[in-house]
Chains A and B, each alone.
Chain A
Amino acid sequence: MKKVEINLGIPHDDLVSCVSCGLCLPHCPTYRVTQEESASPRGRIALMKHAESTGFIDEEFVEFMDACIQCRGCETACPAGVEFGSMMETTREALATQTSYQPWWRRLGYGILGRPTVLAFVSRVLALLQWIKVVPKKLGLPRIPVIQRPLVASGTDVWLFTGCIMDAWMRDTHRAVQRVVEATGAGVQFPNKAAACCGALHVHAGLGEDARLLAERTMTAFPGDAPILVDSAGCGAQLKEYGHLLGTELAEKFSTRVFDVHEWLAERLDELPEIQEASGRVAVQDPCHLRHVQKSHHAVYQVLGRYVEPVGLDDEGLCCGAGGAYSAFHQETASQVRDRKIESIRRAGAPEVASANPGCLLHLRAAGVEVRHPLEIIDSIMTKGG
């Protein structure tokens, strides 16, 4: 294999913070399905150390780095508090800027996410192709609406972040979230097109420069001090990390305004309408970026618990394999990881599943799992009740 010069630029103290005890291995979805060191967090850090000390990498190294889902389950498991996520992001950015790691077609795909008009156009074309049934089912795409009704603001108490793919393909979820938030008496407003995309997928892909531009733009779309609610765990995690990403005081302040919508609702449970009796069991799939990154997955249980009986899964928050764009680029691994998740869901023995992240929702639905956003479940209960 051809060797290529590289400078990953990972701080030395971060690299040596891993003592290679291996306690992360069972909490890593790719290790779980391969049982190979190269697909483990400990292994990946050792590979980074190797690359840093020799100054060279090869295709094998790039493959190993690209195979990480970036779920950050290893960070929760690590007794030493090793910050694996930021090391992987730094590595990917070095690969994207110093090698041909991100080919033009992937860059094009990421580029579309930040351009709402193009994304809307592509989505419309996809929707029409779906309508005439020429889109293969195995792509796992959801039913994309041909006609999009706009979201309508109801006040200025809170912002609801709308995002890229979620807004283009799952706007009805935003509508359900809006109704639940409004049920507390709060008025909801929506950002303009400057907040087209949070940039999470770009960070994961190593396209740091694009991510920083998207972050700068996104921040301009939320003037004032109103809290910014997010119904996508991945986007929420990213918006909360703007302070770290941009390193400015403004970004720090912006990040403090960001809440996962369940976090915000969990503080206002009493303001939500009561129903006669809790109905049914709902298995809760914790999105990695809610559990391992934002660490606020408990809020989903609190909010759901007012209306249904939430049941946690027995896999300690192991990833479902979605990983943003991961499931598109690594279909085989992603579906093996998902198989484990589906087994865990089956063991929970609940007729319905909730997941607070669009990526997980799409990935699980593609395998035939009946899964909805937690607030869609609550919205339908409230609508039925009223």
Chain B
Amino acid sequence: MQTSPHANILDDLRTVLGDRARDGDFELGLYGKDGSVLQGQASIVCLPVATAEVRQIVEICRKHDRPFLARGSGTGLAGGAVPVGDPVIIATAKMNQIIEVDLENRIAWVEPGVLNLDLTKELTPRGFHFAPDPSSQQVCSIGGNVANNSGGPHCLAYGVTSAHVAAIEVVLPDGSVTVLGDLSAEPPGYDLRGLFVGSEGTMGVATKVAVRLTPNPPAIRTLLLDFPDVRDGAATVSAIIAAGLIPAALEMMDKRAIEIVEAFVNAGYPTEADAVLLVELDGLPGGVEHGVEVVRSVAERHQVGNIRIAADNEERELLWKGRKNAFGAVARIKPDYYLHDTVVPRGKLVEVLDKVYKIADAYDLIAVNVFHAGDGNLHPILAYDSGEKGVLERVHAAGRAIITASIEAGGVLSGEHGIGLEKRDYMGMLFSAHDMATQDMVREAFDPQGFANPLKVLPSGSRCSDSFGQHVPDGAWV
């Protein structure tokens, strides 16, 4: 007789999924982690291919009083998909069909496992794209984008995921299937769709998403500006926006970021510069050319070195490839990194960046900065070697100091990576107990028993229904 504590639930799951319900030791290890440094423990992994299967999995979980966790491509950076409290993992990667593209209404219905860039590639020849473009665009899934309300360089002008999702079919924690939002321009009633986007899997599992399609701009200009001093670069960012211009994207990289990125892409990034700005302008040709002149004159007032304009699409793509691969490329300096995601008012960029470097120095760590400067979304990366004794304590302490500095400057905890597990216990730095209790009530309205992605987003104690295990994974800083 099988004596595993999971035997019963596994049997039930196998009647629905066959060999797509897994419990092999080696395979489980792979679903205990996402793109962050946090490590959890998976005990059952389900690989459904249809909404009906997801619904049945949730029902089986309820029957066995087990929580569940939806996982997309597993590239999240806040531990949102790291299993704690022994949830059944529902990996939606196999649900990867583009169901319908309706150009007339500029809507596409897609399954949650469709990769963000695959969707855009499918749409591009027809003159459209999906606007949110996280750096992990080539691999992150639409379901993950919905869960985290993901941003990306081009969200400065186009808005983050929530602005591009019209409706979502979800399996609610009680096992029912419903559609939140609809395709009309002004849907009546509460915007439950808006509530679900960014809820990090704590309100159910998205099984189909109606995304809005954005027309490809008729003209694009991509500029690379280099600065001898990172402060001038940061000041240029604020000045461009103050000049009345909202570029499609406005990204910044510091010296270390430039060096590692150039080593990967060989795009001619100026490795001698202290910082670069990657600025993209799009729209009608006349407007774009005007924008180029505005950027040029603002930058010249801020000691810009060279201004390079991508000559063709190939050069443009190469520059973006560098920017979008920057995080992974950090491994060229140190084998591990801790990537932060705070937002500060644009006017405070210079001040907070200064503090980040000082904090990193104080804790003897290497800071790499590559971020969405246009909306003040900082991504300080602390590079380290986990093999070094005691380094993790320093990384966590430095991280806390960076978050504190950002909040003191009037910023917030997370720009786009979500709260997940990583920032859960920092919520109290930003929200009062009353605020968190209110948020908890919203969550409870969807999931009274705390079945969906337990122990995430809200600190334990802010809800009375956190009844599942309190195991805190290795590497978590709580």
Contacts and interface: CB of A to CB of B under 8 A. Distances in A.
Contacts of B175: none
B136 A21 contact: yes
A218 B442 CA distance: 71
Given A17-B335, A20-B35, A81-B264, A26 B115 contact: yes
A43 interface: yes
A50 B29 CA distance: 8
B26 interface: yes
A84 B450 CA distance: 40
B442 to A, nearest CB: 31
B25 A21 contact: no
B26 A21 contact: no
B328 A23 contact: yes
Measured as residues with beta carbon below 8 angstroms from the partner, the interface class of chain A is 20 to 34
Contacts of A57: 26
Interface in B81-123: 91, 93-94, 96, 113, 115, 117-118, 121
Which of A36, A57, A82 neighbours the largest number of chain B CB atoms within 10 Å of its CB?
Answer: A36
A360 to B, nearest CB: 23
B74 A21 contact: no
B139 A23 contact: yes
Contacts of B26: 38, 47, 50-51, 57-58, 60-61, 64
Contact of B264 (A18, A19, A51, A79): A79
A46 B115 CA distance: 22
Contacts of A35: 47, 91, 93-94, 96, 113
B73 interface: yes
Contact of A46 (B30, B113, B138): B30
Contacts of A18: 331
A80 B337 CA distance: 12
B453 interface: no
Given A22-B75, A58-B26, A36 B93 contact: yes
A182 interface: no
B325 A38 contact: no
B281 interface: no
B117 to A, nearest CB: 7
Nearest to B49: A35
B189 interface: no
A139 interface: no
Nearest to B260: A79
B31 interface: yes
A1 interface: yes
B47 A36 contact: yes
Contact of B33 (A20, A26, A38, A47): A20
Given A47-B26, A82-B331, A22 B93 contact: no
Contact of B29 (A17, A46, A80, A314): A46
Given A23-B139, A47-B29, A80 B117 contact: no
A19 B33 contact: no
A12 B96 CA distance: 36
B329 interface: yes
B244 interface: no
Contact of B138 (A23, A43, A78): A23
Contacts of A37: 27, 30-31, 74, 91
A19 B332 CA distance: 10
A79 B96 contact: no
B332 A80 contact: yes
Contacts of B33: 20, 46
Given A19-B336, A37-B30, A81-B264, A26 B138 contact: yes
B330 interface: yes
B5 interface: no
A25 interface: yes
Contacts of B96: 35
A367 interface: no
Contacts of B121: 314
Which of B29, B30, B73 neighbours the largest number of chain A CB atoms within 10 Å of its CB?
Answer: B30
A19 B337 contact: yes
A25 B29 contact: no
A178 B315 CA distance: 38
A16 interface: yes
Contacts of A19: 328, 330-331, 335-337
Interface in A40-70: 43, 46-47, 50-51, 57-58, 60-61, 64
Interface string A86-112: 000000000000000000000000000
Contact of A25 (B24, B139, B387): B139
Contacts of B31: 37
B35 A58 contact: no
Contacts of B136: 21-23
A64 B30 CA distance: 12
Which of B33, B335, B336 neighbours the largest number of chain A CB atoms within 10 Å of its CB?
Answer: B335
A51 B264 CA distance: 29
Given A19-B335, A21-B136, A22-B136, 7 more contacts: A18-B331, A20-B35, A35-B113, A46-B30, A60-B24, A80-B329, A81-B263
28 contacts: A12-B387, A19-B328, A19-B330, A22-B35, A22-B75, A23-B325, A23-B328, A26-B117, A35-B93, A36-B47, A37-B31, A43-B30, A46-B29, A46-B30, A46-B33, A47-B26, A50-B29, A57-B26, A58-B25, A58-B26, A60-B24, A60-B26, A64-B27, A79-B264, A80-B328, A80-B331, A81-B331, A82-B331
Interface of A: 1, 12-13, 16-23, 25-26, 35-38, 43, 46-47, 50-51, 57-58, 60-61, 64, 78-82, 314
Q: Shortest 8 CB-CB distances between A and B: which pairs?
A: A80-B331, A79-B328, A79-B325, A35-B93, A79-B329, A37-B30, A21-B328, A16-B335
